[in-house]
Amino acid sequence: MEVEQPDWLQQIEGVLESLNEGVLISDDCQNIIFVNSNLEQMTGLPRTEIVGPDIHRLYDKAEADFIVAQRELGLQAGHNRFEFVLPRKDGSRLPVIISARVVEDPDGRQFSIVTFTDISELKHAEQELREVNKKLEERHQEIQEDLKLAARVQQSLAPKSLVWGGVRVETFYHPVRTIGGDFGLVSSLDDHYLNLLVCDVSGHGIGSALVANRIYTEMMTQLRAGSALDAMLRQLNRFVMHNIGSSVFFFTVAAARIDRPGRRMIFAGAGHPPAMIAHAGAEPRLLESRSMVLGALPEAVDAEATLDVDLDAGDRIVLYTDGITDVFNSRGAMLGVEGVQKIVRETSLLPFNEMKKGILDSVAEWREGPPTDDVSLVLVEV
């Protein structure tokens, strides 16, 4: 269809042909009077099939209605820009950005200059990104389910409260993340001794939890074999160095073994905050670690790694990890061992079944914000 072009359009036709975008110009009667060669390539249609009555004839009804509505908006505002599609000869649709502007020639006639920018590569990239995000979301859900299972497994390693003869035990365990590097043990493998232990693997999260599980398994093997506490620490140190062998992970331990009458305890610590023995408001006695942190040096366990401790009726033993001591208040001051010692002295006046809550509440009162480290606590009254 032959359409008469205004003089000004003939003057800029060469410029319009040089553009990378497709260009369409329509007159005030909505007749298409010009199409550049790039728009021909984008549609696959010769310009003779595009030039003429309004371009909405190339769209289906829903698309045409949308184009008409956008055109009205453009006429009102003098310009418009929106994302849509361009019909192609094969019936497909090319995603484009359509920009339209109304101009007026020297004779006062209005024309619409419309450009079409191909965004098919962008849409393809967006689709790939959506697919990748969907896979990531599915993988995230799988990981969350795995973490829930891992958390249930690790909770099985948390020390359990019990009554063993005349000895009462209260415990607490809280990982700062879903899973963590702390674990504890309260176990009587026979009628003669009660084993108590807290362990703190460096770091947080999955890696620490996996190492903690391996250490726990090896520790139980040693206890079932009747190993002495110092021999157990040496074996755990060798086990981690030989089987895990990472400079990233090390661990600390506080272990105690109480005899059946509850009057004698063997204690062994390795790089761990000191255990405490409290009695009715008196200053708690500190049981310091004689060995260094484990998993880093072959000779970490001291030649005399254990302490023999006599216990009196009513004594309370406190084992804990540094999630109790290494907390800071709003002034940046750390609670530390001395702060915990003070809390233990004050709470030792409480009934035993209230002491655990008293300690945890006092630590939380000192601490600014939520916990930042795993927390394990084992309390014993003989």
Q: What pLDDT, in 10s, does the model give residues 86-113?
A: 999 999 999 999 999 999 888 888 899 9
Nearest Cα neighbor of 317 from 192, 186, 215, 223 is 186
Say yes or no to pLDDT of 37 above 70: yes
d(CA 84, CA 87): 10
Per-residue confidence (pLDDT) for residue 372, from 0 to 100:
85
Q: Which of 53-57, 98-102, 159-163 has the lowest mean pLDDT?
A: 53-57
Per-residue confidence (pLDDT) for residue 271, from 0 to 100:
96
Per-residue confidence (pLDDT) for residue 177, from 0 to 100:
73
User: Other CB atoms closer than 10 Å to residue 311's CB: what's the count?
Assistant: 20
Q: What pLDDT, in 10s, does the model give residues 59-78?
A: 888 988 898 898 888 888 88
Q: What pLDDT, in 10s, does the model give residues 273-298?
A: 999 999 988 999 999 999 999 998 99
Q: Which of 53-57, 305-309, 359-363, 376-380 has the lowest mean pLDDT?
A: 53-57
Per-residue confidence (pLDDT) for residue 114, from 0 to 100:
94
Its pTM stands at 0.67
User: Other CB atoms closer than 10 Å to residue 248's CB: what's the count?
Assistant: 11
**With the C-alpha atoms ordered 238, 240, 241, 247, is the resulting torsion angle positive or negative?**
negative
Say yes or no to pLDDT of 247 above 70: no
User: Mean pLDDT, the chain, as a whole number?
Assistant: 89
Say yes or no to pLDDT of 2 above 60: no
Average pLDDT, integer, range 124-148: 88
Per-residue confidence (pLDDT) for residue 181, from 0 to 100:
74
Bridge partners of 170, per DSSP, are: 379
